[in-house]
Amino acid sequence: MGRTVLILGGGTGGVVAANVLKKVLPARDRVALVDRRDTHLFLASLPLVATGRRRPEQIIRRLNRLEGSKVQFIQAEVEEFLPDSKAVRTDQGFLSYDSLIIALGAEQELAPGPSPVFNPYDLQGAVLLSQELAAFRQGRIIVFISSLPFPGAIAPYEIALLIDAYFRRRRLRSKVDITFLTPESRPLEFASPRYSRRLTAIMEKRDIQVLTNRQVQSLAKGHVLTLSDGDLPGDLFIGIPRHVGPAPLRGSTIADPSGWLMVNPTTLATCLPDVYAIGDAAGIRSPAGTYIPKVGFFAHYQAEVVARNLALGYANKEPRFRFVGGAKGASMLTSFRQGCFVSVEAYAAPPKLALSAPNPAAYLTKILFEQYWLKSWF
Ligand SMILES: Cc1cc2nc3c(=O)[nH]c(=O)nc-3n(C[C@H](O)[C@H](O)[C@H](O)COP(=O)(O)OP(=O)(O)OC[C@H]3O[C@@H](n4cnc5c(N)ncnc54)[C@H](O)[C@@H]3O)c2cc1C
């Protein structure tokens, strides 16, 4: 009898897992992918939406394009994990599985009620920010990271640098101050100090003031940020929201006290049989004890590992693929012409994250990768 692999989440990890399983599973087996949205959003391009370089429809793809003889897409909200009956409850009914891949990403925790803080980590927030930036002509912009860990290790820095490039192009930069706040002890804390210094130098050369060890507590009267060590007035606030583990799994046996899912760092298996967690939802610790960065290329590689090992297991072969915590060739945009290459060795002791000097090839690599992603997986 055929088996069912249930994938929760149609983001980076879920889309890769479904595509790989489509190729490697025997014809009798099935893949069901569930997401609350009917579209996949290529999150890495949100900074380009925020700075007016992409329209939303350019960075989304309909998830039903994954469907085929083996893959079914189900639009539903995942509400509860029921490991004893190997099932999940959704708002569309119960779904059972033989193997489960959890790829629900990190959940954003937002302050209730209307917020004067723009959220560039959300499609609608990025569109609103692009409109606000277009109308902004002078004053202080504050970009801040609310808490650690957050997805896209380099993304907040990229957003600040692209905003700088945006105002330089409009010849308004001399009238716009940009301040960057992070709770990290140094920019890209996961990087070796040399690369933190490199990033700080890139930011300062572009007149972006970087303040580390800063914890934002609230925004008073819409124009003063309250920090743990004082107040900071501004005119436009861009906040990376606090992120937490996925709600349906929080408090389950596979979640750690912070809500991130505990997995074997090389196989992504949880402590429950036939249950795997990949991507941002997983809380993997580096040898230094900190969470490894929550980045798309890790979600991608982890999905490959789990999908290929599942197919081997179903064929009664020994699973042999391993996630090694490394990646090369990713990039962070520093302007609309240049970027830095980023490489990570998260399982090294000490963990490493390196950053090249800005160059046009890194910019081109990121743009080509975006095009490749949106074409080849859908
Ligand atoms: C602005 C930004 C820029 C980034 N830039 C980069 C970059 O340049 N390079 C890089 O490598 N990484 C980058 N990242 C990080 C990267 O996008 C993430 O690490 C990656 O998307 C994680 O993949 P995932 O599959 O774990 O989760 P996601 O891609 O977040 O997917 C999770 C999916 O689960 C669905 N979902 C969640 N909860 C439920 C539920 N209860 N029911 C049903 N569906 C649900 C969501 O709708 C979503 O589709 C960036 C992230 C952001 C936000």
3-state SS class at 17 = helix
Predicted TM-score (pTM) of this structure:
0.97
Residue 112 is predicted with a pLDDT of 54
Which of 146, 154, 243, 295 gets mutated to test ligand 1 (max ligand atoms within 8 A of its CB)? Answer: 295
- Ligand 1 close to Cβ of residue 330 (< 6 A): yes
CA of residue 254 to ligand 1 center, whole Å: 20
Give the start-to-end residue ranges of the domains of the chain.
4-107+244-324
Q: Which long-range contacts (CB under 8 A, 24 or more apart) does 220-228 make?
A: 222/116, 225/142, 225/144, 225/181, 227/181
CA distance 94 to 87: 7
Task: Pull the structure tokens for residue 263.
Answer: 């997995």
Nearest CA to ligand 1 atom 30: 105
Residue 111 is predicted with a pLDDT of 64
CA of residue 338 to ligand 1 center, whole Å: 24
CA of residue 104 to ligand 1 center, whole Å: 8
- Ligand 1 close to Cβ of residue 358 (< 6 A): no
Look up the CATH number of domain 4-107+244-324.
3.50.50.60
Which of 37, 40, 43 gets mutated to test ligand 1 (max ligand atoms within 8 A of its CB)? Answer: 43
Tens of pLDDT, residue by residue over 99-143, are: 999 999 999 997 655 568 999 999 999 999 999 999 999 999 999
Residues of the chain with pLDDT under 50: none
CA of residue 137 to ligand 1 center, whole Å: 32
Tens of pLDDT, residue by residue over 301-346, are: 999 999 999 999 999 999 999 999 999 989 999 999 999 999 999 9
Residue 115 is predicted with a pLDDT of 65
Q: Other C-beta atoms within 10 Å of 127: how many?
A: 16
Residue 110 is predicted with a pLDDT of 76
